[in-house]
Structure formats: structure tokens, C-alpha cells
Structure 1
Amino acid sequence: MASQYSRWYHPYEINEKYNKRVAYFCMEYAIHQALKIYSGGLGFLAGSHMRSAHDLRQNVIGIGMLWKYGYYDQERNEDQTMRPHFEQKFYSFLEDSGITVRVVVNEHPVLVKAMVLKPETFGTAPIYFLTTDIPENDHLARTITHRLYDPEPMARIAQGIVLGVGGAKVVEALGGTETFHMNEGHALPLAFRLYEEYGKVEEVRKRLVFTTHTPEKAGNEEHDINLLQKMSFFNGVTLDEAREITGMHGHMFNHTLAALRLSKVANGVSQLHGEVARDMWYGNDGVCEIKAITNAQNVPFWMDTELWQAQERDDNKAMQKRKGEMKHQLFDVVADQTGKLFRPDVLTIVWARRFAAYKRADLLMRDMDRFMKLLNNKETPVQLVWAGKPYPFDYGAIHVFNKLVKMSQKQDNVSVLTGYELGLSKKLKDGADVWLNTPRRPREASGTSGMTAAMNGAVNLSVQDGWLPEFTRHGENSFVLPIVDTSMPDDMQDEEDYNNLMRILEQQVIPMYYHDQERWLRIVKNSMRDVVPHFDADRMAHQYYEMVYNY
């Protein structure tokens, strides 16, 4: 056995509780500011999972993609509006694993090289990043691993083949694994590689588990089944056989549904999302059990130690002093990007996450007169910061971002920042007094940014969606909007949520911050204490073994 798995390397002795070998497949990982291969929440989650797998000494490796141009660099035009920029990245800390495998894309052979991120570099489980951008491939094959979430459907399909089939072959070259974990459906061709090897759907299901991350249509990919067959997505399986083993008999092929039919068990990423996912998918034949494992974030990576120690001592003065220092660090970025000088003694509200329509970045601006009155109240001033990356080809989301930029140019106490990656994300969470979260319920599967904000003394003000119903106690550790009737049209939901949001801001949050600091700090401390340890990724990584890998 030892020789068979001799290349399955970890620099630590495996904890016997986590001895089963697991290969974790994900399209993006947010590991470090220097490694720009992620877009948003899925990557942040995967990064924390790999850190906690390392900290718990789990027998896990990651399989990902080495994106030559990353996601994109968020830059500005002359008028401060947003411009996506694609720039080649070079990573000196990734090492050639010595593994190159062959996959078939569009009936043509493509070579896939695996570069390894060793655990000692950033404190993660070993992660193997796949690239086709090597001299042995032709130009088209080399472009497969250029851009994360390429807008061209055939490129996206090719990326799934490289991650799924190429990743499976890399795992085989390392000695094999007992469990393959697909973190989202991008790696689905992995299932057809396993089917090729074992010849029975039952054998595939024994080895495959699946996490679904979103109820959004865009996150549950569909493609023309004939296009998938032409692209070699089914890894040599005939179209009739692919239909038979996935139960897909129509024109369109749903990747999430296929993953649920080919896995032994699946999970949603919060308790609410588990319910939503079961409602979405249980009406289909052959779907596996869908459990719920709430996402979490790695505490040692995200939490400010000095602030945590001050709250442990119940030292309000030390907490206020440290929070002021953390706000200064954010405000240095605000000044650098926008030329505005924000004040640490002013209530600072931050909205920062991926820009998407359902997240409603501009909800605060629904009634501009009321919004401006909030902004211009000199007795109880506020400062607002927005940040986040839209998908570079989502022109509606880019329009909202640019609308906020235009508005901010007329207000000294509003800023819109670019470059929402790990470094800026940490500063925003450190510097926020209020972490604002405004999705349309129940479309936010988890929304982990609020966890790391709470770890750093920011109070969540949120719709009760994703992880929040498991955490919030209104007026005690957070502020939450009443649940609206989701059967109403979107515009009516938006109106009700907006009025509730402004009422809570005007009547509770702002007055408490300025006139009852003792109560405010009590909420901050409750928030910090309640978010740890339950929303620490160590709990999450443990539950994956307990509820999924050992299922």
C-alpha cells in the first residue's frame, strides 16, 4: 500500500480521524494575494478549506486550474469607471510536479501539466494546478487555461474536461484516491473518466461526492448535449450511453443534475441552502441525498489577533483603539484610490462582494432623497464603501458598479474601490463597522464574507439569507431585515427590503453607534464570540469527513 501511494505526499503525519484519501476538485482557489486564480466566494471557500485541511492534518489534496491571466485585473478608465484588464501572471513558487497527462478535447489530444503548490508555501493541503499552456500544445489548446470562466461556451466545456479528466489522471499518477470531491459541477467530466475506468455507474457513485453552491441559474450550467458530445465531454462514452447513465434525454444537459445523479451524496452550503437545493432537485429521478454543511472561513488566516485578544479581556478601550487602527489601514486605500480622507470616528458601512444583480449593490439608493439625507446628516455622519468585481462580461453588473462610481464622485463620504481580492477583502472587513448584505432571499447560498467581517469586529446588517439564519440574533450580535414574501414580484420585494433596511439604519444602527457605544461594543463582542468556532473552517473540514467522505 505504501508504495502504491508513494507520490501522495503530505509534510505532516495524517490525523487518523481523517485518514481516507480525498481529492478535492475546484475551478478556483483564493489562497494568497499573490496567486490570482479566483473570482469570488467559491474561491474564498476553497482556499479556507485547503488551509483547514492542512491545520487538521487531513489526507486531502486539491486539484485546480492555473489561469494564465487569472480572473481579471479590475482597473479604471479616466473617469474612474471600471475597466477589465487581462495580464499574464508568473508564479515562481509553483513547482513542476513532473506529471503531464493527456486528455481529448473536441476529438484532439491535449497535454495537461500539473504544477504543485507545496503545503509549506502558504499553509495549505497540497494543491495541483493544471495548465495546457505548454509548448507541446497548439495555440488553441494552450488557450484553454488562459481565463477563468471564459465567456465562450466551447472554451468553458474544454476547461471542464481539463479539470475533470485531466485532474483525475493526475490523481491516478499520484497513486489514486478513495474519494473524489467535486466542489461545484465544473469538473463533471471526472465522472465519465471514472465510468471509463470502472464500467458501472454504481462504481462511480461509490467514489464521487458533490457540493452545489448556488440556486442561481447561471451557476448551474446547461449546454446542448450534442455540443458536449462533439467536444469529447463524455470522455469516449457514446451519446446514447451518456444519456442512459445521466438520465438526460432532452436537448439540454444540466451539469448539476447530472452530478447529483452520479454522486453517492451531495451537500448545500448552508442549512437554508440545503433546503432550497432539496426543493430544487428532489423532484428529479435518481438524485442522491443532499445534505447541508454550512460554509466557513479559516480563523487563523482571517481574524485579527490583537482585536480578538482585546474582546477576550473585555477591554473596550483596547478594542476601540485597535478597531481605529484597522480602519486607518482601509482608509489609506480609500485615500490612495479616490483622494478622499475618511475619519475613524465615523460609522463606516461597507458593501463588498461579487457584483451580481440578485445581490442588489445599489439597494441603498432606491430612494435618492432619503439616501442623500442619510449621507448628509452632520450630527450622525456615515461613511460608505463599495467594492467588488462584476463578471467582466456582465454588462448590467458593470453598469451598476459605474453608477455607484458616478454617485460617489459627488460625495466626500462615499467611495467605490477596485481590486476586490484577498488583500483588499481583508482590509474592508477589518475597517468596517457595519457589513451590509442585501441579496434577494433565498438566492444567496451562503455568503461567507459576513463571517470574516464578524471575526474582525464588523456588525452584520443583512437579509436573512445563506448562513445568517444560523447566526443572527437581531440587536444582540447583528441586525437583520424581516423576511419578505418571496412570492411577490422582485420590485415589491426590493421596496419592502429597502424600507426595512433604512428603518433599521435610521432608528437603530446609527443612533446606537453614536449614543450608546457600550451597547454597540456589546453587540460587536457577541458577534465575534458567536462566529467562532462554529463558522471556523476547521468545523467545516471536519464535517466533510464526518458527513460526506465517510458516508
Structure 2
Amino acid sequence: MVLHDYQFDSKYKTSVAYFSMEFAIHQALKIYSGGLGFLSGSHMRSAYDLKQNVVGIGILWSYGYYDQGRNENGSLQADFIRKHYYFLEDLGIQATVNIHSQDVHVKAFYLAAGVFNSAPLILLTTDIPENDFLARTITHKLYDMNTETRISQEIVLGIGGVKVLKSLQHQVDIYHMNEGHAVPLVYELYSELKDMQEVKKKVVFTTHTPEAAGNEEHNINLLHKFGFFNGLSLEKVREISLMKKTDTFNLTVGALRAVKMTNAVSKFHGEVANRMWKECEGRSEITYITNAQNRRFWTDKGMLGALDEHEDYALISRKKHLKRILFDEVADQTGKMFNPDILTIVWARRFAEYKRPGLIKQDLLRFKAMLESEKYPVQIIWAGKPYPFDTNAVNTFNELIHISKDMKNMAVLIGYELELSGVLKKGSDLWLNTPRVSREASGTSGMTASMNGSIHLSTNDGWHPEFSKDGCNSFTIPPIDHNKPPEEQDYEDNKNLMDMLENEIIPRYYQRPEQWTQMMKKAMEDVIPAFDSGRMAHEYYVKMYDI
């Protein structure tokens, strides 16, 4: 079958299969949780824009990640609702993978390039009548909390994905693993090529985070029992993975040792990753390709037109219009009426401890005084999806909801998916990013905010150091000693953040609006082309695929 309905640019004729657990392609296709999916979605859009020979391989999650609802008291309710998609094409083929000594049938669906203007996707499911109930549940929920289900999902993605491509007789030159979830594909390729050096020539790997949750570990005997290594003996697995003296198999380490090239996702993350894995014997070289987002998809056309025409009044007017659209959503969800003339801060991304969603309100009295100032008031909005089984993350989300009940200028929104993300980025004035430095490998939400004239206010982590000209196109929270205990870091970062807001940022917005407008324009200008995913998709061919 011919998967692409477009002619390839001659620069990008190398055939690439891009494996990812999640793709955020369109609001209507709910197979993603957050940043990893947003990134892979933009990669597929730019692969389409550049006419690259790329196909995405993912999983058709029957219940998606989860749908955010509210309990009676307003707190987070995680709803699992079965999804149906009539725009996907049944490819009419099945592959079989062996999981825990049982054959599991994998069916493939196809998202054509023209449906959402992305590279084509092949989405795999085990939720079909040919499988028993347990096998059907493998592809029910993205990031299932059950360890054995997670392992099974990775087998389906890695081994099932390679087998489906073979069934389609689709020639693949490079297999790109976006995170370590697809590592089983290495062992499927080894069963055919019988030589790890030959396997390495065909596989590249992107590592996305220094966080433990993104560097998954399992007992090697459990993985072997489940078929993660595609029937290879444990002795052979230990030999080719160089894990001879440990029973812990780290997916990132397994990937680092099985590919020709690895990339981190920002310059700073490249430094962190090389330090983190410097003792990893037999690992591939780790370079960096900074993450990016697709301008065509994310940028408001009205903002872009006003920028191109150098019409400041039109830019200001359009931003106010976009704020009103966002505030309609705030009013609909919370009953609060926000004012488009008031400085509006947004913190919106995955709720993870190291991202510190509640940092700004740590000194609660100071935070309330800032929001309730009569002279220079501030409005603030939170949104994002905590992992539904992470009690601490859910509690943080619910605590913010509880605090917001007594504050007319504070709102916490549910439903943080592609559509709401776009509304927030277009309607905010200030995009707040507060990770502990060195913990945010890249982060991309601030890129798409900057594309829409929302000023990035961030600790100096991830992509921000490559972009930021403090006070010109963004604001940078002053550096601190990151060897101090986390509680001390949080205290200092909160103080520095509030000092900046009160002494520099809020006065600039209200007292020097022309300077604010120039910052908006500079942010929109500087984020392109360096942080447009066209640059990123091209760089993968140059640095990873064609070497």
C-alpha cells in the first residue's frame, strides 16, 4: 500500500517510521496526554509541510488518556469514555505479537495525510473481537497504571508496529523511537538482521526527560516473561544490551545502546543528558535537536497579519479579542467574568511536581494582594491534566480549585487538550513556566504562547535559554543555587518571581504599554524560525537520519 498521498521532496526521500506512544494531531483525535504528544503532533505536521517521507506509528487508545470532568464540589473527576473515529481507515491487516506466551492480534488503522494535514499515521489496536478481554484492554488507556499492561503496550507499539509495516510492504530506512517506549522494535529487527551493528544503522532515539518517570525501569525477567525481547534468550538479551550484572532493565539505557544516534531535546538538556548517562557503557553519541512547534497550526492568523503589516493597533486589538474568547471559556466553566484590560497570567501544562504549578501562590498573602490590587490588578488561569492516578498531582490541582473559590481573578479550567491549549496561548498576556532548573528537558508550551504574543516568564531551563533576551522578548526568573534543598529553592524562586512581577512586569504592562507591545512583537519574531518545527523536522534528517 502507498501510505503517502504526496510527492516527497528529494531532500527527504529517506524513509522514516516515527514511533511514539502519543500524537496530538487534532482535537478530534484524543490519543495524547501532553507535551510528548504535542511535540510528535507538530513533527508530523511539519513532515507534511516539508513533504518528508515520514510515517507515524502510534496506538489507537480506546479511552484516550482521560476526559477531565468535575465532581459536585468542583474538584477533578477523571472520566474514561470510549472514543469512536469515523475518519480512520481500516487497513485490513493484522499482525500477531506474543505477550506472556499468548498470541495477541494487532489491528492497524490509517490516518491519511490529507485529513488533518500531517504525515500519515498508522494506529494500532488490540481492542478487537479476535482477542480475549485481557488482551483487548492493552490498548484501552494511555499510560495505564498497571505495570504488566504498560509492558504489553510497549510490545504492541514496538514489535507490532514493525510487523504491521512489513505486512504493508512499506520499506523503512530509519526507525525513530520518540522516547524509550518502542524499544521492543530493536529486538524485532534483531530477529531479522541477527547483528546489533546492522540494527543500530537503522534506529535513532529521542530522549525527552531526565525524570525517572520518563526513564522507565522494569525487572528484566518480567520483561522476558512477557515477550518484550521478542523470544530472544535472556542470555542473548544480556549480551546485546550489555546488562549482564543487573536485573533492572532501563528502557532509556536499552535504547541508548541499540541505536546509531540519540538526541536530547534542547541544548541545555543535551548537557544534562550527557552528564546523566556519561557512565553508560556502549551508549550512542548524544547530540541535541531542540524541540519546536508547528507555526501553521498554532499561530493566530490575525496576530500574524498584524505583525507582518507592522500595525501595532491591530495587534493590540486582536489580542484583546483573543482574550475575550478565552474569558468566555472562563465564564462558562467558572462563572467568573475576566476583564480584557487586565494583565492575564496563564500556567498551563502537565501537572508534575518538578514543574511546580503552585509556585506563584506559595506566599499566599502576597499572591492574593497582587491579584486584588485596585491600581494594577492581575488575573491568573491554571489548566492542565495531572496523571489521574498521581494523588499528589491531583491534590495540587484540587487545592488550586479550592483557593480559587474565594478569588474572583483566579480560575482553574478543565479540558486541557489541543483546542483549549490554543485558546489559552492566544488569550494570555504572560505565559508562566516554573520548573526546577535542569528538570525540564525542553518544554514547548512557551513556544506556541510566544508565537501568539504571550510573553514567556520562565526559570532558565529547557528551550528558554536558547530563546530568551530578558526584558526584550521574554522574562527570566533570576538564577539561584540549585544544590540547595528543594524547599529553599522554592522559597527563593517564589520571592524572585514575585519581585519581578511587582517591580518590573506589572508596571511595564500598565505604565509602559508601548514597551509591552514591542515585547510581544519581538517574541513573535524571535520564536520563528528557530522554534518552528519545520526547522526541527529538517534537522532530524540532517543530524540523525542521513548520517
- C-alpha contact 2:3 2:112 (8 A) present in aligned 1: no
The amino acid across from 1:124 in the alignment is S
CA distance in structure 1 between the partners assigned to 2:78 and 2:3 by the alignment: 38
- Structure 2 residue aligned with 1:319, among 312, 315, 326? 315
Structure 1 match to 2:450: 454
CA distance in structure 2 between the partners assigned to 1:433 and 1:341 by the alignment: 17
2:384 is the counterpart of 1:385: no
Per-residue CA distance 1:251-274 (angstroms, 9 max, x = gap): 211000010000000100111111
2:533 is the counterpart of 1:548: no
Deviation at 1:158, TM superposition (A): 0.1
Per-residue CA distance 1:356-380 (angstroms, 9 max, x = gap): 0000000011111111111110100
CA distance in structure 2 between the partners assigned to 1:206 and 1:99 by the alignment: 28
- Structure 1 residue aligned with 2:241, among 243, 246, 257? 246
- Structure 1 residue aligned with 2:422, among 419, 426, 438? 426
Aligned positions of 1:247-266 closer than 5 A: 247-249=242-244, 250-266=246-262
Structure 2 match to 1:131: 125
- Structure 2 residue aligned with 1:309, among 299, 305, 308? 305
Structure 2 match to 1:169: 163
Deviation at 1:156, TM superposition (A): 0.2
2:404 is the counterpart of 1:408: yes
Q: Give the paired residue count.
A: 545
Structure 1 match to 2:97: 103
2:172 is the counterpart of 1:184: no
Structure 2 match to 1:334: 330
Deviation at 1:99, TM superposition (A): 1.9
- Structure 2 residue aligned with 1:495, among 491, 498, 516? 491
Look up the SS of the partner of 2:423 in the other structure: helix
Deviation at 1:9, TM superposition (A): 2.4
Deviation at 1:309, TM superposition (A): 1.4
CA distance in structure 2 between the partners assigned to 1:101 and 1:466 by the alignment: 39
Structure 1 match to 2:116: 122
CA distance in structure 1 between the partners assigned to 2:167 and 2:466 by the alignment: 41
Structure 2 match to 1:143: 137
Structure 2 match to 1:92: 86
Per-residue CA distance 1:376-398 (angstroms, 9 max, x = gap): 10100110000000001011000
Deviation at 1:481, TM superposition (A): 0.9
TM-score of the two chains, using structure 2 as the length reference? 0.99
Look up the SS of the partner of 1:17 in the other structure: helix
The amino acid across from 2:86 in the alignment is S
- C-alpha contact 2:20 2:181 (8 A) present in aligned 1: yes
Structure 2 match to 1:3: none
Look up the SS of the partner of 1:101 in the other structure: strand
The amino acid across from 1:245 in the alignment is I
Deviation at 1:282, TM superposition (A): 2.0
CA distance in structure 1 between the partners assigned to 2:521 and 2:308 by the alignment: 9
CA distance in structure 2 between the partners assigned to 1:485 and 1:346 by the alignment: 34
Deviation at 1:8, TM superposition (A): 3.9
- Structure 2 residue aligned with 1:48, among 42, 47, 57? 42
2:213 is the counterpart of 1:215: no
Structure 1 match to 2:413: 417
Identify which range, 418-427 or 483-492, moves more after superposition: 483-492
2:342 is the counterpart of 1:353: no
Structure 2 match to 1:277: 273
CA distance in structure 2 between the partners assigned to 1:206 and 1:282 by the alignment: 22
Deviation at 1:12, TM superposition (A): 1.1
Look up the SS of the partner of 1:262 in the other structure: coil
Structure 2 match to 1:152: 146
Deviation at 1:10, TM superposition (A): 1.2
Look up the SS of the partner of 2:128 in the other structure: coil
**Root mean square deviation of aligned Cα:** 0.7
Structure 2 match to 1:463: 459
CA distance in structure 2 between the partners assigned to 1:253 and 1:518 by the alignment: 56
Per-residue CA distance 1:288-327 (angstroms, 9 max, x = gap): 0011000000001000111111122221111111001100
Structure 1 match to 2:64: 70
Deviation at 1:492, TM superposition (A): 1.1
The amino acid across from 1:312 in the alignment is D
CA distance in structure 2 between the partners assigned to 1:99 and 1:248 by the alignment: 36
CA distance in structure 2 between the partners assigned to 1:171 and 1:540 by the alignment: 25
CA distance in structure 1 between the partners assigned to 2:45 and 2:121 by the alignment: 11
Look up the SS of the partner of 1:112 in the other structure: strand
Look up the SS of the partner of 2:6 in the other structure: coil
CA distance in structure 2 between the partners assigned to 1:385 and 1:393 by the alignment: 23
Look up the SS of the partner of 2:257 in the other structure: helix
CA distance in structure 2 between the partners assigned to 1:161 and 1:379 by the alignment: 58
CA distance in structure 2 between the partners assigned to 1:90 and 1:117 by the alignment: 14
CA distance in structure 1 between the partners assigned to 2:355 and 2:400 by the alignment: 14
Identify which range, 252-261 or 476-485, moves more after superposition: 476-485
* Percent of matched pairs sharing the same residue: 56
Identify which range, 360-369 or 58-67, moves more after superposition: 360-369
Structure 2 match to 1:344: 340
Where do 5+ consecutive residues of structure 2 fail to align?
none
Structure 2 match to 1:4: none
TM-score of the two chains, using structure 1 as the length reference? 0.98
The amino acid across from 2:400 in the alignment is L
- C-alpha contact 2:330 2:413 (8 A) present in aligned 1: yes
Per-residue CA distance 1:93-126 (angstroms, 9 max, x = gap): 0010122111000110001000000011000111
Look up the SS of the partner of 2:347 in the other structure: strand
Look up the SS of the partner of 1:337 in the other structure: helix
The amino acid across from 1:217 in the alignment is A
Structure 1 match to 2:28: 34
CA distance in structure 2 between the partners assigned to 1:278 and 1:174 by the alignment: 38
Deviation at 1:333, TM superposition (A): 0.6
Deviation at 1:168, TM superposition (A): 0.4
Where do 5+ consecutive residues of structure 1 fail to align?
1-6
CA distance in structure 2 between the partners assigned to 1:360 and 1:349 by the alignment: 15
The amino acid across from 2:294 in the alignment is N
The amino acid across from 2:119 in the alignment is A
CA distance in structure 1 between the partners assigned to 2:122 and 2:300 by the alignment: 30
CA distance in structure 2 between the partners assigned to 1:9 and 1:383 by the alignment: 47
- Structure 1 residue aligned with 2:230, among 229, 235, 238? 235
Per-residue CA distance 1:212-255 (angstroms, 9 max, x = gap): 00000111000011110111111010111111110113021100
The amino acid across from 1:244 in the alignment is E
Look up the SS of the partner of 1:341 in the other structure: coil
Look up the SS of the partner of 2:201 in the other structure: helix
The amino acid across from 2:90 in the alignment is D
